[in-house]
Amino acid sequence: MPQSKPVVVVTRKLPDAIETRMMELFDARLNLSDAPMPKAQLIEAIAEADVLTPTVTDRIDAEVIRAAGAKLKLIANFGTGVDHIDLAAAKAKGLVVTNTPDVLTEDTADMTMAMILAVARRLGEGERILRGGQWGGWSPTWMLGRRVNGKRLGIVGMGRIGQALAVRARGFGLSIHYHNRHRVHPETEAELEATYWESLDQMLARMDIVSVNCPHTPATYHLLSARRLKLLQPHAIIINTARGEVIDENALTLMLRRRELAGAALDVFEHAPAVNPKLLDLENVVLVPHMGSATLEGRLAMGEKVLINIKSFVDGNPPPDRVLTENS
């Protein structure tokens, strides 16, 4: 008799090519509505799963993991960040957790650079004025932004995305500065002509632009606190394409409203998908609905990694992108 295929529960709609391959390889249970599963539905689904494939929109907390049946052995996350998964609970249950690293680096760095330019040159404001029928023609003193050439960019988190951003920013004539848990390799630092700051506080006080590119962990929650935000100069702008929880969003909103900061661009929000309504009222902010990794190429590459991780695991081999092993 042919061996039964493992049951793979997929919590959101994935690209058609990935879902088709899922159906061919596994007993895939797809989410055709592409809406986040309510917790009760997620608990019901996980009870029957051999493999769970969640996304960032799912909260895989201890309650959900405890509801998993004895068959569940793998959480193959569609995404790089795993802060929405209770890793301690997964470890206690002996689960393997995988993610999809490396494939979103270029897309996120592209978006970050685009957002830097959008804020500095006031593109969001100009687009809204034009669409609102309020443009009366060119004026030599109207809608003046700032050039980025010659400005200092402070990168908070010099991992793959931070380094990819630095490459792009150098092309625009920005001076590269960074803060990281560990100093990058001297060759990388020299290639990027990057200045390392051990003190985040000291770096923030001297930057024209700050880009948040670090993951959300307990150590980085509100890393840019109200106190640290006040270290920024009034002409500074801040960009976040990482995780909303890294910045104290209420403090940021207040400073932007008071013009204590020149502007911001946010692709992520502290309480997503909810967005602070006070942010929506501000003209000096570019707000984007978590589009940093939203390219067709990126989503397909993420899906391919999920497939490889699952197939490797069910074939009895270590998945290549393990965040957590059954023995870790």
Is the pLDDT score of 284 beyond 90? yes
Name the helix (H) or strand (E) containing 124: helix 123-131
Is the pLDDT score of 2 beyond 60? no
313 and 302 within one domain = yes
Could you tell me if 296 and 15 are in contact, meaning their C-beta atoms sit under 8 angstroms apart? Answer: yes
**What b/e readout covers 33-43, taking b as 16+ CB neighbours within 10 angstroms?**
eeebbeeeebb
What is the structure's pLDDT at 327? 67
Q: Give the dihedral of Cα atoms 59, 63, 65, 70; nearest 10 deg.
A: -150
236 and 132 within one domain = yes
Is the pLDDT score of 44 beyond 90? yes
In a domain, 246, yes or no: yes
93 and 69 within one domain = yes
188 and 84 within one domain = no
Q: Give the mean model confidence (pLDDT) for residues 19-27.
A: 97
Q: How does residue 33 score in pLDDT terms, banded at 50, 70 and 90?
A: confident
Q: Are strands 96-98 and 74-76 parallel, antiparallel or unpaired?
A: parallel
Q: Give the mean model confidence (pLDDT) for residues 63-87.
A: 94
d(CA 301, CA 291): 16
114 and 96 within one domain = no
Q: How does residue 328 score in pLDDT terms, banded at 50, 70 and 90?
A: low
Name the percent of the chain lying above pLDDT 70: 98
In a domain, 58, yes or no: yes
- The boundaries of the domain holding residue 317 are 7-103+296-324
**Residue 133, burial from CB neighbour count under 10 angstroms (0-12, 13-18, 19+):** exposed
Beta bridge partners of 195: 177
109 and 98 within one domain = no
Q: Give the mean model confidence (pLDDT) for residues 175-184.
A: 97
Would you report the helix, strand and coil content of the chain in percent, each value rounded to 5?
Answer: 35, 15, 50
The tokens describing 293, both together, are: 């990794």
132 and 250 within one domain = yes
To which residue do tokens 């695991």 refer? 313
Q: What is the CATH number of the domain that holds 198?
A: 3.40.50.720
The count of domains in the chain is: 2
237 and 303 within one domain = no
What is the structure's pLDDT at 1? 38
What is the structure's pLDDT at 229? 98
Could you tell me if 240 and 265 are in contact, meaning their C-beta atoms sit under 8 angstroms apart? Answer: yes
Name the percent of the chain lying above pLDDT 90: 94
Q: Which residue has the higher pLDDT, 2 or 178?
A: 178
